[in-house]
Amino acid sequence: MRLSDLAPAPGARRKRRRVGRGIAAGRGKTCGRGQKGQKARGTVAPGFEGGQTPLHRRLPKVRGQSNRARNIGLFRRKAAVVNVGQLEGFPAGSEVTPEVLKASGTVKRIKNGVKVLGEGELSVALNVKAQAFSASAEEKIKAAGGTIEVLER
C-alpha cells in the first residue's frame, strides 16, 4: 500500500452546494431561503427566538462559584439512595458502610455519598455508616437495636 492508494470511502465526501448560481443549478432565485421575512433578508442574531425572551435571559444570573448555582445543577449533590428495607439481608451485628453496599450490589455507584431512607422494615441490629440519614431511617435502625454513624461527605 502506498500513500497514493489512500482515498476516502465512496460517498464520504460530497461537493459543496453552490447556491444563488441560476435556476438551472436548482438553488437559484431565493436560494432555499423561502420568500420574504427576516430569515430571507439579513442575518438573525444567534440565540434569537422570534421575540420570545431568549434562554440566556430567562435563566437566573449566577455569577462566580456559589451554592446559589444549585438550581441549574452546577453544585447539585446527588447521593446514592438506600432504603432501610434493603439492609434486611445483612447478618445481625455487621457493619454496613458505603463500600459494603457497593460490593453487595445494593447500590451501583457511590456518587456524593449514601443516604439511608426509611422505606421498609428492619428486624436485625446493624452498625450503619453513611453520609446522611432520614429521620425515619434513623428511628428504625435504632429501634432494631442498631447504631448509626454519619460519615463526612
In this prediction, residue 68 carries a pLDDT of 63
Cell of 31: 436560494
Count CB-CB contacts under 10 A for residue 152.
5
pLDDT at 148: 94
Mean pLDDT for 86-98 is: 92
pLDDT (0 to 100) of residue 138 = 94
Cα 125 to Cα 145: distance, rounded to the nearest angstrom: 5
Which of 20-24, 71-75, 117-121, 135-139 is the least confident region?
71-75
Q: For residues 116 and 106, give the distance between their C-alpha atoms in angstroms, rounded to a whole number.
A: 12
Domains and CATH numbers, the chain: 80-150 (3.100.10.10)
Does 115 have pLDDT greater than 70? Answer: yes
Contact 101, 83 (CB under 8 A): no
State yes or no: pLDDT of 67 exceeds 70: no
